Structure 1
């Protein structure tokens, strides 16, 4: 009898632990490199800039969890760098303005039927006027319908679009001086 109770306890524990495990692992696809739409680009001429580096400073490289879908962070820095390179004015050659990007936070979380994707970066900009540092947060809050990979991808891409707008506007404001 004691063995049956012990086995039942272990079975219950195993079942409970498996309920906490993720059903699947999602990651980001490299589709962020598409150029920003002209309507959402910053006003005025594009400021020529080059990205010197994208340094992921996060300790935990995963991107979080949406209900039971774990989001893997493999290739994240490349995805983000490609997205920032889609800002009008980017060049892979020499430019008067260079950016050094440090990723401070990048995650998605869900609460009930809501999800929130967040990208927080510190950008050090070096241009003829000198060097400056600014922190930007790209965010997307939306309804979580089914925790699908496509839904997670879209949330991160919208957060990236928000980040692109902010960095692009900052570049334009300093470039026009």
Structure 2
């Protein structure tokens, strides 16, 4: 395993009005391994219940990079998040992460992000179904592989530029792998 990451990371400062995504780079931590981050979780340790508290709008892996989408925060404060990364092979890194909220603008809450009907935030790398729904684990939606769409609404293509579903045999699984 590579070197242990620093116990305290500091993100680039933002104003309360900013809604920004922050990517974390675990490459040094995972140097010399074939492991990769499979799950990311985060919480705001300094939240007080105020509407202008720093808020995590969503947390996701985007192209393999752990990403936090953050909004709000009391101006002139340093907020602390607890971030945990878990790898496919079971390594866990969990540490506090600091984020300064600048005094440049007055306090404001985060912008709303798209959510599922149960309130779960939808990250930008979610797979959209033909009716506009989002593919989720545990979904009772029955679909064909031909119906899987890219975020821009175009069909997924295989290496020969044919519709992905034309090159996949029918199967039943709880796991969807797209390489």
Q: TM-score, normalised by structure 2?
A: 0.29
Greater share of helix: 1
Q: TM-score, normalised by structure 1?
A: 0.29
- The structure with the largest alpha-carbon Rg is 1
